[in-house]
Structures are given as structure tokens and as C-alpha cells.
A and B are shown apart, each in its own frame.
Chain A
């Protein structure tokens, strides 16, 4: 075969994409006022902060223990309420359970809409409604958990086995009987696994919601950093880290047993 007749595929698309990408990044750097100099100048400042953060103020732990407990409470309740709300919506969003496209599409739409609103924003809104305190945080976490659990659950629902369902329909089961006796037993372990996973995420989230006044330990970040009490701030970080790791550990153990 003649070598000249070989067609080398054109690289133009790749080159153009690359150039566009570089332009976007450059433009962003300009817009953001990125300055390598400022960063380097900032290093000693950051170094100072880091040095002050260690060792953490061990005496501070008892003072924030209450707030930490409040954080955990928020996470528990937020996850629970969110899970309860997620049950009907996830059933409605699953294509194999809800036949009507109008229903499942609108359920999914509502779910996706809520999921696009960032956590902290929800918290700030709830603070405006309910005032400063953990109620706002629980509200925000509820909506967030609802979104996450509903999405994970409906995706799982669409993969369950249809044979038991078909068998039940064949013997004359109503829709609700189908769900209670056919769907729920199959999906329950997965559902609980998702709830636990969301709880893990919520512990982390709950720890920072206090920044906008939604309760929990986050409030103390604002306080300590504002007063430049860095060793106290690192106490908060470490405490949170410890709780998160503890809960993660147990949660993973339980989830393993479920699957």
C-alpha cells in the first residue's frame, strides 16, 4: 500500500480545545487577581498561623463539648427527617415503580432543584426564618439529606429485580401492597446504607453550618479565628476530625454488614 495515501487524522479539534482552555484559565487568573507574589508574601503569615495552631488548646475541649454534641444531634435529626422525606419522593422518581412520566419527571425535577442549592445557603435561609440556632441547621440538613438519599435510593430502585414484583401483581396485589411487601424488603439494606453514608457527610457539614449561625460547633470557628485564637481553632478542627473519624469507622462497619 502506498504510504502517501495514508490519512493522518486531523488534530485541529484537540489544539483548539487546548488553546481555548488556556485562554479561560488565563482569563480567570486575571479576573481573580491572582498574584504569585501575594501568595509568597502570604507564606510567612500562613506559617505563623500554622505555628500558632500547634499545639492546640487542650483546655478548650470541654468548653466546646456541648457544641459538639449539638452538632451530632443536628446531624442525627437532619439525616432522619431527610430520610423520611426521601422515601415517598424516591419511590415517585423511580421509573419502574411510577409509570407516569409526568409524575416521575416532576419528582426528579424537584429533587434536583433542591440538590443544586448549596448547604450553607440553605442554612442561611433557615437562619433567617427560624433564627439563630440548631433548628435552622436541622432544617438545612434535612433538605440536603433528602436530596442525597432520594437520589441514591431512586437510582437503586431502578435496578431491583422485577420478578418478585411481577409475581405479586399476578396474584392481584395493589400498588401499595406491592411496595410494602415487594419493593421495601429488597431496597431496605441499601437504603439504610445510604442513610448512614449521608450521616457521615452530615457530621462534616454540621460542623461548619454554625458559621452562618445555624448551630453546632461552626459558630466557634468564627469566634476563635476572629479573635486570632488559632490554637483554639485547631482544637475545634481536631475535635471535629476525631468525631468524624469515629463515626466514619462505625458507619463503614455497619454498612459492610448490610451489603
Chain B
């Protein structure tokens, strides 16, 4: 297989727009989302077509129909001034929505623009903008609105505009955080190097990322604005000359004992609209998150795995090899996909690790080598399971053990060294406590005894000052030191088998050499078996006794390291050896380049 062959995907070109259409469809299929959208559409239509829905004038007082009941002339009755309630409600929708829209638009405009600039350029603008945002958030909104009314007069538009400014930090914070997240993406750097202007970068690369969160935030802010607007009018601080839901509420409140039903209409409008907006925002967010994590409600398929592919080429063992500690036979591992599909990633792996041996499992990314290692520990990620095969560890089949039984084996008899040392240490605990705790639980020894052992282990793995490292936190040590700590942890409970998943990949080459020395020394002293997953033939040559080469979920070739390296038989193994650059010819000098050779003096 060549890497330039594109994996065919159904309908690949249209996938971008399809994803968006898909989101809308899922929003409509979601019960809550559908209900919220219907309510919002009805409210907006009501506002737009108000003149068609009622012929009454919302402001025309009629002394003949004061507090008129529901009847043919007034579908929802009339209020204390004899104005038609339905007309006031429909026209009020116009003003209430427009007011909320104004506040939201102002908040979004200020917040988004400031957030984009502050996030992208940072420096002094960021300091000022963040300070201003904090100040605005600290101000009590209602006091400011009262003050604004006192100065600017009772205009709904004015108070909504002020409220918009007060709400702008909600957008600012959101956009700022998102922009800071993407501005260091390499594609933004690449665009800068390509000579793309800042405005174009922001519009093309950055705005796209923050679009969805802005829509969600806008729906939330709009709901709040409607409630605040109604609240101001209800308190009598609004402009009573226009029909709004808040003014209706205020009027109805004064006649609560004569006509309580009048309170229902504006309250229902406010509540329904606000709730619909918030639910719409929530559903949108949920659906977006779901899109990221790929499908909901995993269906557990009952598909059993199938072993396929050619059998492995096995080089004969040297006579007199030790008994196996781990024997994996026809292991099939896969992941349940939504829709009952079963995606198989390991297609029948058979593997034997002998007592006291270092076994290398080598393959390229996606070959299933890490999946194999995880299944032995039964630590497959969500949705993954062993579909067939056996994993016999010291006479016990791990694939059929209960979780409780496995807990007695994991950490005590089989331990694990991960690839990323830093992310495998808990940053909130000291290194010492992370070493002591497992020993106390697994070996049943006292804390003092565990501490004594931990210190001697830290010294054993080559940490210069064990006492100091014992009491430091993970961020205070280097990556190489962290890996030594994890190795100390892995051997602390005297396991029979250590599974090391690319233990040196994240490390510098000089540190890698030290860690390999350490693993070799520990293996010799403790006689432990090691299964080491790697993609580096040099690591295998350095450390391993036997090796298995994996490709597409199968082992294609296995045998003693010297044998296999001298005589690789499978074409894939041979192609891997051919790709190794070490000892290849150097490029040589450029025809007209200088041949000066400079060496820095004084540096070690």
C-alpha cells in the first residue's frame, strides 16, 4: 500500500456542507430542539404578521370595553384601558423582540470584535479589554440601568443599548478564549508566512472556529435580554407609550384582583420565548458536542471477531528457551460503532512472551500494536472489546476474568510503562505519594516501609537526589526524570511482566539511550519479562531478545532478534528495513558551498 493512495470515502467532496445540514437535521430530530424552534418561529411570525392577525389598534383605548372578557370583539379580552389584549400582545412581541435583539447585537458586536482583536494581537489591547470586561461584569446591571434612565430618559431602546454594553463581556470572554486557542495553530502561522493579511486570517481561519459558540451565546443573551426588558417595564421604568410584554405585565398587575387572567398572556409570552431560546442554545451545544464525539448511544453489537490475513512467518527459537509467561492466541479486538457495526483493529494476533525475555512488538502507526498491548491489560478505551481469542498469563486466561480478578493482577503481576510520562503522573500529587499508594494497596505494607522502598527504587532508576524527587510535584521534573519515576512505579510491586508502550518515543535521543540502559539493567537484575511496543528498530536491536512485526492488525513475522534482523523474510519487514536511514550515504557537499568546519570551543 502506498501512502499516496487516497482512502475512498463515500460522498467525500460534499461532506463539509453535509455535516452542517446534518446538524440542522439532528436539531430537528431532537424533541426539545424541535419544540424550541417551533415556538421561536411562531413568535417571530406573530410579530411579523401582527397587522394580518388582528385589526385592532394596540394603543386605542375604548371606554366601552374596559376589562372586557374574552369574546368575539376581543379574542383575549381587553385591558383596564379597554385596549385589545391580542393586538397588544402581537405588537408587543415586535417591540420586545426588537429590544432584545438590539441588546444582543450590541453585546455581540462589542464582545466579538474586542475578543478577536485582544485574542489575536494580545499585548496592550488585551490588558485593557480584559480589565474593562472584568469591570463591566463587576457592575450591578440594574443600578446602571436605573442611572441610565435617570440621565437619558425612559426610552426602551436606550436602556436596551446600555444593557447590551453591560452584557458584552459574555461574548468577549468566549471569543477571546477561543481565539487564543487557535492563534497558535500551525495553519495560522503558515497563513502568516504565506503573506496573508491579518484581517483575512481572522475572517478565514479564526472566525470559523468561534461561529458556533457565538450563536449559542447569542441565544442565551437574547433570553436574558427579554427577561430584563420585561423586568424594567414591569417596574415602570420603561417607555409606557409603546406596547411591550413588560408594560402589559405592569398594567395587568395593577388590576390583578379584577382581571387576574390578564397576567397570563404576557407572562406566557415571556416565559415561552425565554425558555425556547435557552433550550435552543442548549440543544445546539449538545448536538455540536455529540458531532465531535461521534454518534450517540453506542449499540453493543454481538459480532464476534474473525481471524483473517496470512499466517505469520515464524523463525525457529534457539533451543532451551524458557517457558512462556504470556501466550496470546488468535486475539481479535475491535470497537463497536453506532449502528451495530464492529470495526476490527486487531485481526488475530498470536504472540508468546517467555519468562525473563524482552519481547519487541514493532509496527507503524495504525498497525494495532498498542491495541494489542491494551487488550492484554484489558484497558481498552470506551467501546473497545476483545471479540475472540485467548490471553493466557501464567496459566490464567485474562480475556475471561472479571474486572475484580483483573485488579488483583494489574499493577501487581503485570505493570505498565506509558508513552507520555508527563500525562501519566497526576499533577496534583507529589511523586512520592504516587509511588507509595500503589505499594500500600498492592503489597499490603506500611507507609513507612513503602516510602523506604520508593526511595531505594528512585535511587535504583538513576535519579540523582531521591529525597528531593520524592517530595516534588510532576511539573518540577524533566520528561526523562518523569519516565524514570514511572519505571520505578512499574517495578515497585515486583511484577512478572512489564508492558512498555513506546516508553522512549517522547524523549530526546540521549535520554532514550539512558532509559534503554536503565530498562536493560532492571531486566537483568529482576529477571522480569518485558513486552515493549515500539516503532524503532534501533530500540529493538538494543534491548530485545525476540521481536514480532505487526501490520494491519496481524503479526507478519516473529522470531529471535538476531535471526530476524539477519534474515527478514516477509516483504513488509524487508521494506521496513529498507526505509531505515542510518548508515545511508550522506548527501555530500553542494558544488559551490563553503567547506569551513567550525566547532564551538569552551562548551561541554
| A and B interact physically | no
Residues of B within 8 A of A (CB): none
Residues of A within 8 A of B (CB): none
